[in-house]
Amino acid sequence: MTITPSSLHSWASQDQIPNSTQLHPSRLPLEVYELIIDQLHDDPLALEACALTCRAWLPRSRFRLFLIQIQHVPTVGTYNNLLRRIRASPSLPQYVRALCVSRFTNDRKPTWTNRIPVQLAPFMSRLFCLHFQDVLSSGWMHPSMHAYLAFFRTVGNLSLGNCLFSDINSFIRILLCFPALEYLTLDQVRWGKSQMMKHLVGPSRSKKFQIKSLAITLDSWHGDSAKQFTEWFMTTPSVSTVTFFSLTSGSATDHEGIAPFYHAVGQSLKELEIYFPWYSQGALTLVSDFLHLESCKSLRRVRFEEVTAQETPVLLTLIGRIPPSIEEIWINMKSENQKQLDSVDWEIFDSFFTPEKFPALKKIFLAFHFYIPGQGQDRKPTTSSIVSRLRKLSDVGLLEIRERTPAWRSDFSAT
């Protein structure tokens, strides 16, 4: 009998989980079943079904579940429960790959989060993803927090959301805590006005900061924040190692501050994603002059999220600056109604992508959706009329109309 994830799901849902004799009349050795369980390492539902199938299967199934386990810690109660579980089974936390620490809004000063690095790091020896949401703030963060976080030596994926630091030096010192860091996401991260202190965060301190992926939300930065971060980033080795950059649009001033970034990473950057939030109508027009895509000589994939239909001419001008190395272009376009979409000059769009301009181009992915301010989405657009006006791209196989897909930066993976 062949064991598949779907068959295990079916047995679990119908309360008809067979025992090992039903699965195979000759009762194969336990090692064989454990090898089968290992093949289901990416499917938590199948692993749960395996854990319920047979007592002998429970240890390996639980082992595999913890390998992909993401631990969410939203309150001090949850955290204390996690500590009790660790004390009861001290061998299990080493299999946790992702830890998400957040707080409820009524928890005004979550000082308990200061204990996390000291109490959990010694047990979570395989932790790869670490996400802090609403918990790192100068108001309650311990002055030595950057030293405590250094205990998480295996963290390679760091995500900071809605964090407030007293100055940029405190913020950068947190980033430098993680020697194995490869993926960095900054969402609503802010700091007070201050001068950068090179003896704390200068090149000599930042020489091990070598990340591959960077995702930033600009609209939370004010004043010289974008400029400060860019100036520091350009002093690190990451300018030659970063291959993916995701940017959520902010004001024109913010984009001006981060503009030198494109020149600095031009030789290494291979994937670029630019997201324009729903509330930033006309954002592409405002910031297009600061998106120096011509500097990204190694760019292979580019994605434009939430571009308005009216900005299609500006979008084409921006795409025209992309180096000829580009292989994939993803465009997610929004409009308030079908009339706005149909009013776009799709014939110009169709004739824009010539082999002379884009010799390496393999595919253009288009997605459309309606967005009405204050109402959200109401229905899906009709794309047949648009496809009929994009005959050249369709005939050569470059065009693919598809459903909206999650942004590349949204994949907070435990692997």
- Separation between Cα atoms, residue 194 and residue 263, nearest integer Å: 26
Residues 265 and 233 sit within 8 Å (Cβ to Cβ): no
- CA–chain centroid gap for 198, Å, is 30
Least reliable range by pLDDT among 79-88, 106-115, 121-130, 239-248? 106-115
pLDDT at residue 1, rounded to an integer:
44
Count of CB atoms situated within 10 Å of the CB of 382: 12
Q: How many domains, in total, are found in the chain?
A: 1
- Separation between Cα atoms, residue 200 and residue 226, nearest integer Å: 19
Q: At what angle do helices 5-13 and 44-53 cross, to 10 degrees?
A: 60
What average pLDDT does the segment 223-237 reach? 87
* CA angle, 259 then 261 then 266, to 5°: 115
pLDDT at residue 375, rounded to an integer:
60
* Residue 22 within any structural domain of the chain: yes
* Residue 83 within any structural domain of the chain: no
* Residue 187 within any structural domain of the chain: no
Of residues 131 and 46, more confidence is placed in 131
| 307 has a pLDDT exceeding 80 | yes
pLDDT digits (tens, 9 = 90+) for 335-362: 888 898 999 999 999 999 999 999 999 9
Look up residue 260 and give its two tokens. Answer: 């030198």
* Residue 315 within any structural domain of the chain: no
* Residue 344 within any structural domain of the chain: no
pLDDT digits (tens, 9 = 90+) for 312-340: 999 999 999 999 999 999 999 988 888 98
pLDDT digits (tens, 9 = 90+) for 243-294: 999 988 766 777 888 888 898 998 999 999 988 875 556 678 878 888 889 9
Residue with tokens 């932790």: 127
What is the SS3 string spanning 70-108? EEEECCHHHHHHHHHHHHHCCCHHHHCCEEEECCCCCCC
Residues 48 and 40 sit within 8 Å (Cβ to Cβ): no
* Residue 54 within any structural domain of the chain: yes
Of residues 272 and 113, more confidence is placed in 272
pLDDT digits (tens, 9 = 90+) for 182-219: 999 998 888 887 777 776 777 878 888 999 999 998 76
The pLDDT > 70 percentage for the chain reads 82
pLDDT at residue 244, rounded to an integer:
95
* Residue 24 within any structural domain of the chain: yes
Of residues 75 and 323, more confidence is placed in 323
Q: With cut-offs at 50, 70 and 90, classify the pLDDT of residue 38.
A: confident
- Nearest Cα neighbor of 238 from 155, 159, 176 is 176
pLDDT at residue 414, rounded to an integer:
34
| Structural domain boundaries enclosing 51 | 5-65
> What strands lie across the sheet with 328-335, from one edge to the other?
70-73, 98-101, 129-133, 157-165, 183-191, 213-217, 244-248, 271-275, 301-308, 328-335, 363-370, 399-401
| 11 has a pLDDT exceeding 60 | no
Residue with tokens 């999220």: 305
Q: With cut-offs at 50, 70 and 90, classify the pLDDT of residue 106.
A: low
Prediction pTM value: 0.79
